[in-house]
Structure 1
Amino acid sequence: MSAATLRAAIAAPAPAWGLSAAQIGRAATLALHDELALAPKPGLVSFVDSGSHDDMDAHTFMRSLFSLRRYFVRMAELGAAQVPFAELERSGIAAEARMLAATGGINTHRGAIFVLGLLCAATGAAQALDGRRDADAVREHLRRHWGGALDARSQRAPTLPGGIAARRHGLRSASQEAALGFPVLFETALPAWDDARRRGLSAQQVRLDCFFSILAVLDDSNLAHRGGLEGLHFARRAARAFIEQGGAGQPGAPAAAWSLHRDFVARHLSPGGCADLLAAACFLRRVAREP
């Protein structure tokens, strides 16, 4: 695609029935805030405390979040133009550099840059080509335009701690999850979200149920990196028990979730991959209801 074609695609106004790139990017930024605001999330940073982390807090996350606002808009623009994956990847690398500059070198949102960036691009493509923004359309366009490139990327030797831990323990890495079209997001997280809404749970309870549903099944490489397979299996068992006891709608759910949070902190466990997919679920549901 020529530079002139790309500029024309980006400059074109959003269809009357659709979302602008700015609206898509705004939904991604707000989704990161949704994730940060949820508490408790066992082991993770929130506005209440820093979870299992001693090098970051909510202020660090907010600086990171603001540094990424333009990135998500740009990814929606690039997606609408259906650019090659290499262009999306370059944009993500630049966004990671901005994040690290904003946080003093602390990795707050590397996974979210990857996941939410891809979803913004796929939403932009779905809007431009089909006038749709529902989850099925987003997944379809992600696979159609960049599925092959994501599959090739998943074959690369890992260089980051999470990917190295995933390969060492025979787990499905974040790159492999993306190459498959994020099955945990679309086949577990979103159905759990919708089931919680049908049960009449509050917005915070819906997100908590969604989070535990992800935690129960995801090969979270950050858990494996910090706690090995023992840590990953402990986290999954805890999540399944929470869900089986009634999830966020059970009597005493907040106390049970806080107790698990303390257990995760004591074990230095932090399910960062689950946090990324929770933010992704928040994004997809925000996009679907944007005016």
Structure 2
Amino acid sequence: MIALACTPAAADPAAGDAPWARAFGRAATLALYDELALSPKPGLVTLQDSGSHADMDAQTFLRSLFALRGYFGQIAGLGARGAAFAELERCGRQAEQRMLAATGGINTHRGAIFSLGLVCAAAAAAWRPDRGCDAAAVRARLLSHWGAALRQRALRPSPRPGGLAAARHGLRSASAEAALGFPALFDTVLPAYQAELGAGAALASARRRALFRLILALDDANLAHRGGLEGLRFARAAAAGYLATHGVHDDEEQHAARAIGRAFVARRLSPGGAADMLAVLCFLQRIGVVQAAA
């Protein structure tokens, strides 16, 4: 859990360089590293391999993380003062340009800039000096502050590959998922993750299961872009089989995850949307929102 030197209530909320905002930014950046470091995971870049990606590796991700390190503190400051969604979008677009400059035009974290940035802003808006915040408060701030703007954004066609795939196949876009308050994360994955940690699961095992639950629950446009509906269905079936067969204390679960990873690579599948939401889960844990069940 992060230690805030001061809180949004005790500092200028517009200042992205305030100590509390830097703490939120550090937690978000570390959460992206948490996602990168988790291994094995199917089709995604890790510290050991590039998964289904021929154009990026761990070093590409680390350059991106370095470029984004100030963004999350900035968007936390905007969130704490209830800035309009247009300001959050502007901040995100600037961060995206820094990311692309650092990676030579490779999209490593565009989805995380959106999803993790929004949750970082909402958490800053919900934070209270005496008690921090909980998951319900973060979600409530997200919906009350920016839900209407997100619903409007979801109606606009996106020219990006994931958005085009979502529209082509009738899937819920990232904007639509955000406009609903990220139900796959908050309703499905977060409670199970907390329960598994409370039952003594190893952190890596619990996070891997969270990733597979996200693959199962999300309309992951990255999977649809790379493999069409057939690829999305294959990924969901693999995730369902893994969750049904392997528990958190199963010595074979890593072998099973590696086998699924090989199948994903053979089909060029990469669950980037699920990875983005796993980073959000790691962020919530780093700021103390995720608590192990009693």
TM over 0.5: yes
- The answer to whether the aligner puts 1:284 opposite 2:287 as a matched pair is no
Residue 53 of structure 1 aligns to which amino acid in structure 2? H
How does the TM-score come out when normalised to structure 1? 0.92
Correspondence for 1:198: 198
Pick aligned residue for 1:9 from 1, 5, 13: 13
- The answer to whether the aligner puts 1:160 opposite 2:160 as a matched pair is yes
Q: CA contact under 8 A between 1:55 and 1:106: conserved in structure 2?
A: yes
Q: Deviations over 1:12-56 (max 9, x none)?
A: 998xxxx81111111100100000000111000000100000000
Alpha carbons of structure 1 residues 13 and 258: separation in structure 2 relative to 1, 3 Å: closer
Higher helix share: 1
Alpha carbons of structure 1 residues 71 and 247: separation in structure 2 relative to 1, 3 Å: same
Q: How far apart, in 2, do the equivalents of 1:271 and 1:130 lie?
A: 38
Equivalent residue runs for 1:1-291 within 5 Å:
8-11=12-15, 20-127=20-127, 132-288=132-288
Q: How far apart, in 2, do the equivalents of 1:20 and 1:288 lie?
A: 14
Residue 264 of structure 2 aligns to which amino acid in structure 1? F
Show structure 2 runs of 5+ residues with no match: 1-10
Show structure 1 runs of 5+ residues with no match: 1-6
Matched position secondary structure for 2:139: helix
Q: How far apart, in 2, do the equivalents of 1:31 and 1:169 lie?
A: 31
Q: CA contact under 8 A between 2:134 and 2:289: conserved in structure 1?
A: no
Q: How far apart, in 1, do the equivalents of 2:134 and 2:226 lie?
A: 35
- Give how far 1:132 is off: 3.5
Alpha carbons of structure 1 residues 158 and 13: separation in structure 2 relative to 1, 3 Å: closer
What is the identity percentage for the equivalent residue pairs of Structure 1 and Structure 2?
58
Q: How far apart, in 1, do the equivalents of 2:51 and 2:226 lie?
A: 14
- Give how far 1:200 is off: 1.0
How does the TM-score come out when normalised to structure 2? 0.91
- Give how far 1:195 is off: 2.1
- Give how far 1:85 is off: 0.5
- Give how far 1:209 is off: 1.1
Q: Deviations over 1:90-138 (max 9, x none)?
A: 0000000000000000000000000111011111111269963221111
Q: CA contact under 8 A between 1:111 and 1:276: conserved in structure 2?
A: yes
